[in-house]
Amino acid sequence: MASPSKPRSPFGCFVISITLVHFIASITSLGTCQSLVEESSTSDDTNTKAFFIFGDSTVDSGNNNYIDTVPENRANYKPYGQNGYFKEPTGRFSDGRVIVDFIGEYEKLPLVPAFLQPNADYTNGVNFASGGAGVLAETNQGMVIDLPTQLRNFEEVRVSLSEKLGEKKAKELISEAIYFISIGSNDYMGGYLGNPKMQESYNPEQYVGMVIGNLTQAIQVLYEKGARKFGFLSLSPLGCLPALRALNSKSDKGGCFEAASALAQAHNHALSSVLKSLEQILEGFKYSNSNFYDWLQERISNPTNHGFKDGINACCGSGAYGGVFSCGGTKEVEDYELCENVGDYVWWDSFHPTEKIHEQFAKTLWNGPHSSVGPYNLKRLFSNIKVIKARTIADVVDRQETGEQGIFQQ
Ligand SMILES: *[C@@H]1O[C@H](CO)[C@@H](O)[C@H](O)[C@H]1NC(C)=O
């Protein structure tokens, strides 16, 4: 006699996966998942580590020095780089280093070269970022290396690594590398708020959807090429950049330009839910994200609590709040003022934070607690993680599932 078949809900699988997501979400918010992560022994750390960087002026290390663009999209002249960490201005939009320089230092990598820098060695990664670049090809078109082009440049590097190291080693390097993406601000500032035609064609929600849609595709392109570990710098309170605050000075008592900040927040929320989904869908996909928006807002509002004196004005610039983008070079407005003590300032120029902000935030991303960076911090991502949090829980649930239904067996 056949044993009676087990009663089975047609939605059993669906219910389980929803529960799983909630389960992970609740664990994540409690911050107790760290104990479920096991790292392999440090003996694996002899592997070559690589750091690939995509994005805009927040992370550009000098690519724009080599393209035909406007002076506003360049930073290879004084007083950029004035703190002397680098002998000459390098093209970084900062008084010194930018966030990815610190992260590279913490991982003890050699300085990651700009892709367009002649004779660059790509073995420990390369920086594809370009000041002014957006996710959308339309953003500052013709004056920047847009994200689709940055991805094509990565493909070129991937091929050259395969030739240099051999297929197997290159594949290993690609899958162990960190892919750091910091982009989107220019899509919302120049690409949307500064572009009446775009605003006629798309409402804010549609536009955010388009940016996030393209960003998601970019992540998938990298994943298909073997990338597994991603780091993201979410968008800052864009309306509080000195340049945007200055635009708003008539309507308010010097408050932030709220429409810009609202776009940044909508983008950040959409990005974090996309990342949560990708973690579920793409096998082996791991990432690090953070709430840069609140983190920076806190320093803008309460600078003295964090070692700053001024969270509003640019150290280098002119006009209200130093919001006129005039910090050296051959920009449209030539005159500018430079503050005496850059260490007091959150903002270096009208659009970009100081090295001190870059460093503080790099530290948070590197080994910050689960409340500020997650699901992984970058230190954990760089180390070899054998069993990952989601998978540990998922495995347990899946095993029960396969035992009953046998449909998840590989
Ligand atoms: C990507 O952006 C283009 C505009 O550049 C848009 O037409 C397209 O729909 C976007 N793709 C996605 C998946 O959102």
Residue 1 domain-assigned (yes or no): no
> What span, in angstroms and rounded, lies between the C-alpha atoms of 187 and 215?
11
Instruction: Write b or e for each residue in 187-218: b if 16 or more Cβ atoms lie within 10 A of its Cβ, otherwise e.
Output: bbbbbbbebeebeeeeeeeebbebbbebbbeb
213 within ligand 1 shell (Cβ under 6 A): yes
Asked about 57 being catalytic, the answer comes back as yes
Residue 166 domain-assigned (yes or no): yes
Residue 307 domain-assigned (yes or no): yes
Candidate list 187, 288, 352, 358, residue with the active-site label: 352
137 within ligand 1 shell (Cβ under 6 A): yes
Residue nearest to atom 9 of ligand 1 (CA): 210
Asked about 22 being catalytic, the answer comes back as no
Residue 95 domain-assigned (yes or no): yes
Ligand 1 centroid, distance to 116 Cα (angstroms): 27
Residue nearest to atom 4 of ligand 1 (CA): 136
Residue nearest to atom 12 of ligand 1 (CA): 213
Mutate to test the pocket of ligand 1, among 149, 197, 210 (most ligand atoms within 8 A of CB): 210
Quote the pLDDT of residue 316.
98
Residue reference for tokens 């793409």 = 282
Residue nearest to atom 5 of ligand 1 (CA): 136
Q: Three-state secondary structure along the chain? A: CCCCCCCCCCCHHHHHHHHHHHHHHHHHHHCCHHHHCEECCHHHHHCCCCEEEEECCCCCCCHHHHCCCCHHHCCCCCCCCCCCCCCCCCCCCCCCCCHHHHHHHHCCCCCCCECCCCCCCCCCEEECCCCCCCCCCCCCCCCCCCHHHHHHHHHHHHHHHHHHHCHHHHHHHHHHCEEEEECCHHHHHHHHHCCHHHHHHCCHHHHHHHHHHHHHHHHHHHHHCCCCEEEECCCCCHHHCHHHHHHCCCCCCCCCCHHHHHHHHHHHHHHHHHHHHHHHHCCCCEEEEECHHHHHHHHHHCHHHHCCCEEEEECEEECHHHCECCCCCCCCCCCCEECCCHHHEEECCCCCECHHHHHHHHHHHHHCCCCCEEECCHHHHHCCEEECHHHHHHHHHHHHHHHHHCCCCC
Ligand 1 centroid, distance to 214 Cα (angstroms): 6
Query: Which CATH number belongs to the domain containing residue 79 in this structure?
Result: 3.40.50.1110
Residue reference for tokens 């089975």 = 8
Q: Which residues of the chain have pLDDT under 70?
A: 1-48, 249-254, 385-410
Mutate to test the pocket of ligand 1, among 198, 214, 271, 274 (most ligand atoms within 8 A of CB): 214
Q: Number of structural domains, the chain? A: 1
220 within ligand 1 shell (Cβ under 6 A): no
Residue 112 domain-assigned (yes or no): yes
Q: pLDDT tens, 128-145?
A: 999 999 999 999 999 999
Residue nearest to atom 13 of ligand 1 (CA): 213
Quote the pLDDT of residue 249.
64
Residue 10 domain-assigned (yes or no): no
Ligand 1 centroid, distance to 96 Cα (angstroms): 35
Ligand 1 centroid, distance to 174 Cα (angstroms): 27
Atom of ligand 1 lying closest to residue 213 CA = 14
Which are the contacts of 306, defined by CB distance < 8 A and separation ≥ 6? Answer: 298, 299, 360
Q: pLDDT tens, 25-83?
A: 333 333 333 334 444 434 344 466 999 999 999 999 999 999 999 999 999 999 999 99
> What span, in angstroms and rounded, lies between the C-alpha atoms of 361 and 355?
10
Quote the pLDDT of residue 248.
85
Give the structural domain span for 64: 47-405
Quote the pLDDT of residue 391.
45
Residue 6 domain-assigned (yes or no): no
Candidate list 56, 57, 185, 187, residue with the active-site label: 57
Strand 310-314 vs strand 385-387: parallel, antiparallel, or unpaired? unpaired
> What span, in angstroms and rounded, lies between the C-alpha atoms of 339 and 317?
9
Residue 134 domain-assigned (yes or no): yes
Asked about 349 being catalytic, the answer comes back as yes
